């Protein structure tokens, strides 16, 4: 690959947007996080592996935009017991790459490690993430977020934070 | 307080309206349960549709045993212990596939998928070995009902149909909702781990008292009508079929509504192909009845939960850890309803599910609460003044009553005393 052809300014902009996305998710700022989404956004966390077809096989999360909204409202209901007491999360996102540029959309890949402290335990999660970002005005909106968990093939505990 | 290493009299620990809290978290009790329940009774293992073709296999479990479920050339289903008969190496590390034999990677012994030993590396060294006695260990009894395959480690005992008893009607009722009369398990599993004892899950599956509280958030944010089914005024029933099998029978509420597919939160207009298939299969009137009643909400002891649109398999890992394997039920040959079955399942269950994440945190908190060393006992007497027999002679109560828990513990006691 040629390093000369990398669009560094676009990469930096995408990174900055995704750093904000990560921080809002870490801090359980549900409404602010939801506002990043495009109207046709899809949030996908497959079970087993990245190769499954979410239209045919089970996913841990496979939310269209309206289901994202239900998820957020459930968090905000005050009765989402799986997230109450509040789950503490800090994630590191790294290894950013621009994978594709397609008109006003850009596909960004990165890795993420999450330290998660729930009522019953401290957990470490890891994933490969892919984001399809759409340029709007002078920023982005989130058209697709895929979270490929490293251990998606194993039995997992509750996942009641924004991964 | 006496310890539980050798319980002489179960009457001291299991009562008509509660149990000794230590039964959920004592290691000796767990070991006895493995022996007297998981390694004795019929336990659900897998579904026929998971291995439709010759040489298909899928990794399953029975109690703590990993089991390879295979379909051999003769068309039979085999439940094989996943341990090489040479030195004990784990034979197969794949979760599924299609192959006629399994070769152990350690010393290259090869077994046919019906368990027979086919070959040993460097065979000259085995002059004294009886090959026929070195096949894979098998689950001695295997039987299926409506495509649901069960295994039992007991060489003798009741047949599967005797064990299921009236609960066969639950499986029949599920299958009647499929126009082809068959269901399929083809969508893979969500594997969801909880730090809690397996019995907490079994009891919760037909606990009709909790949904209005634990799942209140779902009623607040969606137009779910589930709260009508499980409230104090609901005409739904809890039922004890005996042998630990229990259900919440929601049909009285659905019959009051009298609307086809209301049980599934939808209507005839939205699933026209399915409705036509049902009419063709059952005739208009019968199809209408079935589509009003819907599928069951039933716990088949000790590990199969049919939850209307999905099924759960409960796998004990240790006294304090349990895995729930969940998959969407699919009606063979009915793509329009199957899509909705998958979508609804994914939203509700698994680690991030709108319903199951909250159930699971309750399992964990209950498991923690039961650690108290203060001589704690549970109270499961709710509704014991209004238990009654239905027309088939099964005990029924209101949907929010503890009747299913009492039935489960009564059967548990009979197994542990045996």
Of A71, A81, A155, the CB nearest to B193: A155
Same domain as B184, residue B308: yes
**CATH number, position B216:** 3.90.380.10
Same domain as B101, residue B78: yes
Is any Cβ of chain B less than 8 angstroms from the Cβ of A1? no
Is any Cβ of chain B less than 8 angstroms from the Cβ of A45? yes
A47 with B188: Cβ contact below 8 A: yes
Token look-up 């709007």 returns: A136
**Closest by Cα among B9, B12, B149 to B67:** B149
A58 with B194: Cβ contact below 8 A: no
Residue B335: domain span:
167-417
- At which of B111, B129, B152 does a domain end? B152
Between positions 100 and 119 of A, the ones with CB within 8 A of B are 119
Instruction: Check if the interface score ipTM surpasses 0.90.
Output: yes
**CATH number, position A138:** 3.10.450.50
Same domain as B130, residue B248: no
Structure tokens at A88: 């503490």
Structure tokens at B386: 């209004």
**Closest by Cα among B232, B195, B173 to B382:** B232
A58 with B352: Cβ contact below 8 A: no
B217 with A70: Cβ contact below 8 A: no
* Cα B378 to Cα B14: distance, rounded to the nearest angstrom: 10
Which value, in Å, is the radius of gyration of the alpha carbons in chain B? 23
In this structure, is residue A155 part of a structural domain? no
pLDDT at A3 over 80: no
Question: With contact defined as beta carbons under 8 Å apart, do B350 and A60 qualify?
Answer: yes
Query: Which chain A residue lies closest to B363 (C-alpha atoms)?
Result: A82
Who contacts B12 (Cβ-Cβ below 8 Å, separation ≥6)? Answer: B20
Report pLDDT for B226.
Answer: 78
State which residues of chain B have pLDDT below 70.
Answer: 1-2
- At which of B104, B122, B152 does a domain end? B152
pLDDT at A1 over 70: no
> Using a CB-CB distance cutoff of 8 angstroms, which residues of chain A are in contact with residue B194?
157-158
In this structure, is residue B16 part of a structural domain? no
Same domain as B171, residue B145: no
Report pLDDT for B361.
Answer: 98
Who contacts B259 (Cβ-Cβ below 8 Å, separation ≥6)? Answer: B267, B292
In this structure, is residue B354 part of a structural domain? yes
Q: Is B165 helix (H, G, I), strand (E, B) or coil?
A: helix
Question: With contact defined as beta carbons under 8 Å apart, do A130 and A28 qualify?
Answer: no
Same domain as B307, residue B175: yes
In this structure, is residue A104 part of a structural domain? yes
In this structure, is residue B33 part of a structural domain? no
- Best residue in B93, B350, B353, B362 for a mutation probing chain A (most A CBs within 10 Å): B350
* Cα B362 to Cα B207: distance, rounded to the nearest angstrom: 13
Same domain as B378, residue B289: yes
Report pLDDT for B222.
Answer: 86
Same domain as B59, residue B105: yes
In this structure, is residue B361 part of a structural domain? yes
Is any Cβ of chain B less than 8 angstroms from the Cβ of A3? no
In this structure, is residue A157 part of a structural domain? no
**CATH number, position B144:** 2.102.10.10
Question: With contact defined as beta carbons under 8 Å apart, do A157 and A132 qualify?
Answer: no
As for how many domains chain B has, the answer is 2
Residue A145: domain span:
3-149
> Using a CB-CB distance cutoff of 8 angstroms, which residues of chain A are in contact with residue B190?
47, 58, 60
Who contacts B414 (Cβ-Cβ below 8 Å, separation ≥6)? Answer: none
Is any Cβ of chain B less than 8 angstroms from the Cβ of A98? no
Report pLDDT for A61.
Answer: 98
pLDDT at A2 over 80: no
In this structure, is residue A156 part of a structural domain? no
As for how many domains chain A has, the answer is 1
Going across the sheet that includes B148-152, the strands are: B43-47, B148-152, B141-145
In this structure, is residue B9 part of a structural domain? no
Token look-up 């990469």 returns: A11
B351 with A73: Cβ contact below 8 A: no
**Closest by Cα among B227, B192, B190, B189 to B361:** B192
- At which of B125, B152, B179 does a domain end? B152
* Cα B80 to Cα B114: distance, rounded to the nearest angstrom: 8
Question: With contact defined as beta carbons under 8 Å apart, do B146 and B172 qualify?
Answer: yes
Segment A110-140, tens digit of pLDDT: 999 999 999 989 999 999 999 999 999 989 9
In this structure, is residue B3 part of a structural domain? no
Q: Is B42 helix (H, G, I), strand (E, B) or coil?
A: coil
Question: With contact defined as beta carbons under 8 Å apart, do B240 and B203 qualify?
Answer: no
Same domain as B195, residue B128: no
Mean of the per-residue pLDDT values of chain A: 96
In this structure, is residue A162 part of a structural domain? no
Same domain as B208, residue B317: yes
């Amino acid at each position: 690959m040629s390093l000369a052809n990398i669009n560094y300014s676009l990469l930096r902009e995408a990174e900055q947007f995704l750093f904000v996305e990560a921080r809002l998710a870490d801090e359980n700022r549900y409404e602010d996080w939801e506002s990043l989404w495009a109207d046709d956004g899809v949030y996908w966390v497959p079970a087993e592996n990245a190769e499954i077809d979410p239209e045919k096989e089970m996913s841990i999360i496979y939310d269209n935009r309206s289901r994202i909204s239900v998820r957020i409202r459930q968090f905000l209901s005050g009765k989402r017991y799986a997230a109450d007491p509040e789950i503490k999360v800090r994630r590191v996102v790294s290894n950013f790459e621009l994978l594709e540029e397609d008109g006003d959309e850009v596909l960004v890949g990165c890795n993420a490690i999450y330290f998660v402290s729930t009522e019953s335990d401290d957990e470490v999660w890891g994933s490969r993430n892919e984001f399809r970002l759409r340029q709007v005005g002078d920023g982005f909106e989130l058209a697709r977020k895929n979270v490929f968990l490293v251990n998606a093939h194993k039995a997992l505990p509750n996942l009641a934070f924004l991964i | 307080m006496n310890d539980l290493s050798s319980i002489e009299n179960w009457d001291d620990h299991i009562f008509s309206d509660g149990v000794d809290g230590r039964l959920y978290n004592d290691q000796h009790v767990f070991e006895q349960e493995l022996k007297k329940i998981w390694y004795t009774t019929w336990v659900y293992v897998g579904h026929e549709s998971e291995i439709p073709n010759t040489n298909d296999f899928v990794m399953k479990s029975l109690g703590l045993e990993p089991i390879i479920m295979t379909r051999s050339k003769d068309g039979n289903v085999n439940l094989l212990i996943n341990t090489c008969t040479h030195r004990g190496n784990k034979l197969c590390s794949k979760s599924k596939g299609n192959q006629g034999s399994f070769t152990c990677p350690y010393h290259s012994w090869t077994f046919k998928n019906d368990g027979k030993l086919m070959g040993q590396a460097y065979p000259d060294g085995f002059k004294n070995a009886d090959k026929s006695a070195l096949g894979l260990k098998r689950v001695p009894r295997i039987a299926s009902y409506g495509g649901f395959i069960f295994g039992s480690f007991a060489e003798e005992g009741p047949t599967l149909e005797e064990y299921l008893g009236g609960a066969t009607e639950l499986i029949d009722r599920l299958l009647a909702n499929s126009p082809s009369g068959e269901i399929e398990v083809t969508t893979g599993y969500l594997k969801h781990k909880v730090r809690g004892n397996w019995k907490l899950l079994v009891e919760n599956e037909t606990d009709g008292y909790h949904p209005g509280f634990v799942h209140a958030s779902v009623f607040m944010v969606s137009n779910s009508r589930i709260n009508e089914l499980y409230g104090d005024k609901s005409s739904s029933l809890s039922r004890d079929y005996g042998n630990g099998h229990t259900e919440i029978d929601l049909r009285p509420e659905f019959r009051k509504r009298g609307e086809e597919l209301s049980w599934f939160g939808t209507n005839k207009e939205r699933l026209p192909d399915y409705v036509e298939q049902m009419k063709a299969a059952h005739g208009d009137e019968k199809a209408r009845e079935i589509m009003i009643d819907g599928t069951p909400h039933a716990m088949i002891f000790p590990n199969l939960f049919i939850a209307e649109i999905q099924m759960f398999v409960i796998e004990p890992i240790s006294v304090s850890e349990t895995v729930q394997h969940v998959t969407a039920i699919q009606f063979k040959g009915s793509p329009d309803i199957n899509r909705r079955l998958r979508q609804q399942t994914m939203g509700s269950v698994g680690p991030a599910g709108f319903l199951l994440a909250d159930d699971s945190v309750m399992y964990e908190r209950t498991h923690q609460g039961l650690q108290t060393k203060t001589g704690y006992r549970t109270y499961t007497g709710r509704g014991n003044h209004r238990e009654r027999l239905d027309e088939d002679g099964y005990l029924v109560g209101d949907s929010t009553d503890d009747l299913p828990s009492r039935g489960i513990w009564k059967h548990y006691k009979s197994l542990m005393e045996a």
